[in-house]
Structure 1
Amino acid sequence: MSHPIQWCRQAFPPASKWHPEDIPDLSGQIVLVTGGNSGIGFEMIKSLLRKNAKVYLAARSQQKGEEAIRALKEDTGKTAEFLQLDLNDLVAVQRSSQDFAQRESHIDILFINAGIMYPPLDQITAQKYDATFGVNVIGHHLFLRLLYPLLTSPSPLSQSQTSPSRIIWTSSSANLLVNGRLDFSTFTEGPDRRKAGTFDLYGQSKLAQIQLSAYVAKRAAEAGENVVSIAVDPGHIRSDIFRGKKPWYIILYEKFVMYPVSYGVLTPLYAGTAPEALEYNGKYIRPWARPGQPHPSAYDREQQEKLWVWLEEQVKEYL
């Protein structure tokens, strides 16, 4: 089956057999959600709070984060914690991880959820990376590297001390629409980046996230660490991930193909909380909470290692 046809089939999945009400009690669990002030992240936090987790809402804007926390309190009766996180700036990412490490000694579930899609091509990060790849991949890579010791440390409060910590990566079926090989020359400012365009850069960032998820799972297993890493496609969801002016075809796509945000939480929450989802360590789950197949290059160990080495070089001064 061609990758575009596979992408189309994933746009219309069968009804889910799993629902957020199936989440087990999360009392004592420490959960961190990046991009939690709106969209899928906000809805995930709502469900996690209802299941008694202590949840950190990580977002760039303190004002928007606090507004979201107030709305969550009104809806659930419970209060999320705010963590300021600007993935657009590696210095800010470093500062955010230090702040979190002073507040908690362990993470049970890390949702790598924040992301941007189709920002203006002139938009670059503080360190002059492409905005899409910089936020979706480079900023998150540094954040994960700095917080990884908290994922491997023992949980003092969890009722399930032997359960592994989980890293859940919100990827996308857009990984199927690129040629399967990352072009590192497009991730920094220059003619190659502008030639690639925003659509290709977004697809590359989502392929990279699946490669990293699989690679982290393998590294953890080889090191004997009790950490599970799963990449998910949340589905074709109407959220605020789009940046900049939307072209006409995106407006039609949102209206006739996309699902409400409530559908978008199904697959990441399943991966992050369902006991049976642990069998998908290093794998990819598609809508709604079903096993899926990303682009074959996502599981190419040579490409995974090349990406990891490149990212380590970009963030080395912040580690």
Structure 2
Amino acid sequence: MSQPFQWLIQAFPPSPKWSPDDMPDLSGKVVLVTGGNSGIGFEMIKSLLRKNAKVYLAARSEQKGAAAIRALEQESGGKTAEFLQLDLSDLAAVRASAQEFAKRESHLDILFLNAGVMFPPPEQLTAQKYDATVGVNVVGHHLFLRLLYPLLLSRPSSGTSPGPARIVWVSSCANYLVPGCLDFATFTRTRTSGAHEKLKVDVDLFGMYCQSKLAQIQASALVARRAGEAGEDVVSIAVDPGHIRSDIFRGTTSFFFKLWDMLIAYPVSYGALTPLYAATSTEALAYNGKYLRAWARPGQPHPASYDREQQEQLWSWLEEQVKDYI
């Protein structure tokens, strides 16, 4: 089956057999959701609060985060989330956010690597001059995970938090559209000389998004494998939340994507289903290091996803990028 066809058929999944209402009680669990102020992240936090988890909403804008927390309190019966400022486009800010979280919590039960960008302005770069899409979706999240990983390992072995810590990577079926393997040369861009220092912008924005989603699946599989080899009680699962009607296409004027969003995409509440299943379901433990597609079904991602050599190449590249912030 061709990879583009794989991407297409994801638009028409069968009816879900699991819902967030099936989650167990999460009292005592500490959960962190990046990009929790809108879209899928917001929906996940709402369900997590209803199941009594202590949830941190990590987002760049304190104003938007505060507004989201007020809305969550109204929609979850008076339960509230905690705000954590996190700017994934600046590695120094990522480090500061992780340090702040470590001051507030001694452990972390569930980490949702959910925040993401698609179709940013083509000239936009992160503070460290990475392509904005890869910088936020991959590099920033990698550093955040590396800094929080000790808290995932320091969970109590008994009491209110049984079971392994879980990392859920909110990827996408866009991973199928990467031709071949990751192209690291496209992850950074340089400025041209001149009075106005104009930026080279001949970049395939959707292609960068697809690469970032494949990179997340590769990293998830590698984390799961290394944790298993080290005897660490950590589960890592990558998920495709489905074709969801959120604000992910806000940066594009493409008629195709606008039409797709209007006619094919599902309500955002559906997007929370698969990540929440991966994070809380006992059955999901069987998919450690694997890939779940909409709605909470096992799937087979891009062929490069489980290539160990490519996983190690990605990890080595990422480690080199964040070494000054560890």
Q: TM (normalized to structure 2)?
A: 0.95
Q: Secondary structure at the match of 2:57?
A: strand
Shift of residue 158, structure 1, vs aligned partner: 5.0
In the aligned structure 2, how far is the partner of 1:156 from the partner of 1:220? 16
Paired residues, number: 318
Q: Secondary structure at the match of 2:295?
A: coil
Residues 275-317 of structure 1 deviation map (CA, whole Å, 9 limit, x = unaligned): 1100000000000000001001000000000000000000000
Alignment-derived partner of residue 181 in structure 2 = 181
Alignment-derived partner of residue 13 in structure 1 = 13
Gaps in structure 1 of 5+ consecutive residues: none
In the aligned structure 2, how far is the partner of 1:318 from the partner of 1:9? 41
Residue type at the aligned position of 1:148: Y
Residues 209-252 of structure 1 deviation map (CA, whole Å, 9 limit, x = unaligned): 00000000001001100000000000001112234242111111
Residue type at the aligned position of 2:313: K
In the aligned structure 1, how far is the partner of 2:289 from the partner of 2:126? 29
In the aligned structure 2, how far is the partner of 1:148 from the partner of 1:154? 11
Residues 88-138 of structure 1 deviation map (CA, whole Å, 9 limit, x = unaligned): 100000000000000001110000000000111101001110000000000
Residue type at the aligned position of 1:260: P
In the aligned structure 2, how far is the partner of 1:130 from the partner of 1:157? 43
Alignment-derived partner of residue 89 in structure 2 = 88
Matches within 5 A, 1:129-168: 129-155=130-156, 159-161=160-162, 163-168=163-168
The structure-2 alpha-carbon separation of the partners of 1:219 and 1:288, relative to structure 1 and needing over 3 Å to count, comes to: same
In the aligned structure 2, how far is the partner of 1:245 from the partner of 1:277? 35
Contact kept in structure 2, 1:35 and 1:114, CA below 8 Å? yes
Residue type at the aligned position of 1:239: S
Is residue 52 of structure 1 aligned with residue 52 of structure 2?
A: yes
Shift of residue 159, structure 1, vs aligned partner: 1.9
Matches within 5 A, 1:49-128: 49-76=49-76, 77-128=78-129
In the aligned structure 2, how far is the partner of 1:157 from the partner of 1:47? 24
In the aligned structure 2, how far is the partner of 1:83 from the partner of 1:156? 26
In the aligned structure 2, how far is the partner of 1:299 from the partner of 1:222? 16
Alignment-derived partner of residue 255 in structure 1 = 262
Deviates more, 1:238-247 or 1:138-147: 238-247
Contact kept in structure 1, 2:109 and 2:155, CA below 8 Å? no
Contact kept in structure 1, 2:108 and 2:155, CA below 8 Å? no
Q: TM (normalized to structure 1)?
A: 0.97
Residue type at the aligned position of 1:153: S
Alignment-derived partner of residue 202 in structure 1 = 209
Residue type at the aligned position of 1:227: V
Residues 169-214 of structure 1 deviation map (CA, whole Å, 9 limit, x = unaligned): 00000000111311111010149x8444101100000000000000
In the aligned structure 2, how far is the partner of 1:290 from the partner of 1:178? 22
Matches within 5 A, 1:175-254: 175-190=175-190, 194-254=201-261
In the aligned structure 2, how far is the partner of 1:217 from the partner of 1:165? 11
Contact kept in structure 1, 2:28 and 2:53, CA below 8 Å? yes
Moved over 6 A (4+): none
Matches within 5 A, 1:272-291: 272-291=279-298
Q: Secondary structure at the match of 1:83?
A: strand
Greater fraction of residues in helix: 1
Residue type at the aligned position of 2:125: I
In the aligned structure 2, how far is the partner of 1:51 from the partner of 1:98? 27
Residue type at the aligned position of 2:117: I
Q: Secondary structure at the match of 2:204?
A: helix
